[in-house]
Amino acid sequence: MKKVFLLLVVLSISVASFAQTKWTVDPMHSFVNFSIGHMGISFVDGSFNKFEGTVESAKPDFVDAKVKFTVDVNSIDTRVESRNKHLKTDDFFNAEKYPTMTFESTSFKKLTGKNYELAGKLTIRDITKDVKFNVVFGGTITDPKGTTKAGFAANTTINRLDYNIKFDPTGMGVAKDVNISLNLELVQAK
């Protein structure tokens, strides 16, 4: 009986140590930003104020992480209301027909030190393309309330024309390349 009990304890510890840990994005401490060239001389910056995401990983360095992320297109904010409205039209996102952008990872690999590469499928409008993000892992910490948190910064550049965003296809007024940057704080599920 003692041996059976010990075996069960060992098995439960083994299962627990390899169990998937779920993390959720803390919207109060996370940001989804973008920057795009304007007229070839300056940039317009903006953000999305509503988003959610999850990360599942069994390893403390996240190399086996599975990432899912959704952005509410209607939450776009460039600090100019008329521009925000235009970006929601069919010239850009067509937020009425395609209210969300999504990302689902296919791999998350460590490069060197705290630098990682996150690859996955980004869907904007009705187009899904492979993208790669450069990621910096800020580490993990347990706050005074006993909640474990992890921090990441991620960035990539996409060509908006690849996603059926056809406004100004020459890129003379609104550039083709969009720089995307995310600063994310994740909260570990208890």
Q: What is the pLDDT of residues 58-78, one digit of tens each?
A: 998 999 999 999 999 999 999
Asked if pLDDT for residue 5 goes beyond 50, the answer is no
Asked if pLDDT for residue 186 goes beyond 90, the answer is yes
pLDDT range class, residue 17, cuts 50, 70, 90: very low
18-21 contact pairs (CB < 8 A, 24+): 18/58, 19/58, 20/56, 20/57, 20/58, 21/56, 21/57, 21/58, 21/188, 21/189
Sequence-distant (≥ 6) Cβ neighbours of residue 54 within 8 angstroms: 22, 23, 24, 25, 67, 68, 69
CA distance 11 to 17: 10
Count of CB atoms within 10 A of residue 63's CB? 13
pLDDT score at 97: 98
3-state class (DSSP) for residue 17? helix
Numbers of helices and strands, H then E, in the chain: 2, 11
- The mean pLDDT of 130-152, rounded to a whole number, is 97
Going by C-alpha positions, the residue among 118, 119, 126 that lies closest to residue 162 is: 126
Each residue's pLDDT tens digit, 85-137: 999 999 999 999 999 999 999 999 999 999 999 999 999 999 999 999 999 99
pTM for the full predicted model: 0.88
The full set of domains in the chain, from first to last, is: 21-188 (2.40.128.110)
Q: How far is CA 150 from CA 22, 35, 48, 185, in A?
A: 12, 25, 21, 6
pLDDT range class, residue 2, cuts 50, 70, 90: low
CA distance 115 to 36: 25
Each residue's pLDDT tens digit, 36-47: 999 999 999 999
Q: Across all residues in the chain, what is the average pLDDT?
A: 91
